[in-house]
Amino acid sequence: MYTIELRIDSTGYDDYLEKKFKYGYKLKRALVNYFNMQENRRVNSDKYKELAGRMQELNTQQDIIKDTKDKGKKKLLKKTYKELSEEVKKGWIELNDSYGLGNGKFVDYKKLGEASVMYERYASEGIINWSSFESMAQATKQGYLKRRKQPDSDNTLKVPRYVDFNTLWYRKCNNNITSDGLRFGKRGNYIIFPYIFKGTDEIRFTYALERQKIAWYGVKRTLDRHNKWLYSVLIVFSEAPYGMPESPIKQGKVVVSVDIDKLAIKTLDVDTEQEVFFDISNDFGYSEKLSYYDRKLEESRRQSNPDNYNVDGTIKEGKRTWVRSKNYNTLLARKRTLWHKIKQSRKDRFHDIAKAIVLNCDEIIVIKDDFKALQKRKDYNPEEMKWTDTRKQRGAEIMFNAPYEFIEFLKQKASYVGVSYSEITRKTMIE
């Protein structure tokens, strides 16, 4: 699958689209509150406390097994431990299911509290589509499950800001994506949002629309530098994009690795032992521009909120009210626009590199670092280390260069041309 993004002309219908996003955001907020409420009920239940106590018993028993030297006794202890472990596991599954927090994508859409009631009302008014609600509910639940797997997490989801709620997804939508534009509304009373084609957009879109099936689509909004919403449609097609061959040009095995320190992508042809480096260190001046906006934003914030700072320049403790000046909002909008440019530039570069790799082999092995672990800020001694230490800066570098995004592009393009693809995490190799 792949996505084509097309700008749409919303002239005269900005309020119509704004209403969809406004009500979609209310639904999202209600869903987040529902899962947080259910999690709070779960951890405060008697069943949870009982299972937590039994988990401590399991840990104690595990320590006893380790210290036991007698083989016969150890075997019996392991058997007891296994039985107890399975019993506790079953208990956790039953507990989580009872609060609608079980693993998997399934969501009981009629039992989502206020969110279910709100959806019924919005659907009757023709504002929110069922597939949009379904997509939001599943994404919210998966976000909660991801938090629950994190060892140091309180399992609580954050309510997103309205400005960050930017996409509404739709399924069963082939009739809404036409050659003329994006179509909303009921038969006989359609609203058409014409596409705004740039570059090769029209060729790629026409090719896909005539030959491929649409899996789903989304309406996306982006704030420009003047704080005005611009709208586009994200169309997900089910096959390979225009311009990709059916098979690679060359055969052979290639090992791909991402070097975080050198900000480079390296490929090694196993047969010829030839190495090729793709330099990604050039950020085209974007990081310098980001630093500039960060400085200006901080200056503006301090000028507008002098009472929120101590004499030494540090922020005063406690809850504070922050005033945003017109200049601050303008700078923030420009920084946001710059981030959009960074993401698009990075995306284009990664697409080019991934395409160059997949067309020159029939097997790819990716050796990757544990990027999540590298992003974590580790403890360090400020007396022994400078602020530029790699352990402190690694997370920012990874966030800016998004190596995992490249790996996803590579995997996707490999599937288009039938190239064998596998991954090895560097941490696993060492062990």
pLDDT, tens only, 389-406: 444 444 455 556 677 788
Q: Which of 424, 428, 413 is nearest to 1 (CA)?
A: 413
Other CB atoms closer than 10 Å to residue 261's CB: what's the count?
A: 8
CA-CA-CA-CA torsion for 311, 312, 318, 319, nearest 10 degrees?
80
Could you please report the per-residue DSSP string of 191-224?
EEEEEE--TTHHHHHHHHHHHS-EEEEEEEEEE-
Do 276 and 307 meet the contact criterion of CB atoms below 8 Å apart? no
Would you state the structure tokens that stand for residue 21, as one six-digit string? 């996003």
How many residues appear in the chain? 431
- The pLDDT score that the predictor gives to residue 399 is 54
**What is each CA distance from 171 to 122, 286, 398, 410, in whole angstroms?**
17, 36, 33, 26
Angle (nearest 5°) at CA 330 between 328 and 334: 115
Q: Which two tokens stand for residue 152?
A: 């140091």
In terms of Cβ atoms closer than 10 Å to its own Cβ (0-12, 13-18, 19+), residue 207 is middle
How high is the pLDDT of residue 69? 85
186, 179 contact by CB (below 8 A): no
Q: What residues pair up with 214 in beta bridges, in sequence order? A: 237
CB 261 within 8 A of CB 393: no
Q: How far apart are CA 423 and CA 1, in angstroms?
A: 20
- The low-confidence residues of the chain, meaning pLDDT below 50, are 375, 377-395, 428-431
The predicted structure's pLDDT at residue 182: 92
| Domain residue spans of the chain | 1-243, 253-430
Cα separation, 138 vs 144, whole angstroms: 10
Over the stretch 330-389, which tens digit does the pLDDT of each residue have?
A: 898 888 888 888 888 888 888 888 888 888 888 899 887 755 555 454 444 444 444 444
Query: How buried is residue 340: exposed, middle or buried, by Cβ count under 10 Å (0-12/13-18/19+)?
Result: middle
- The distance between the two most distant Cα atoms of the chain, rounded to a whole number of Å, is 82
Per-residue pLDDT, 273? 83
* 268 touches 285 (CB < 8 A): no
- CA-CA distance, 25 to 4, in Å (whole number)? 24
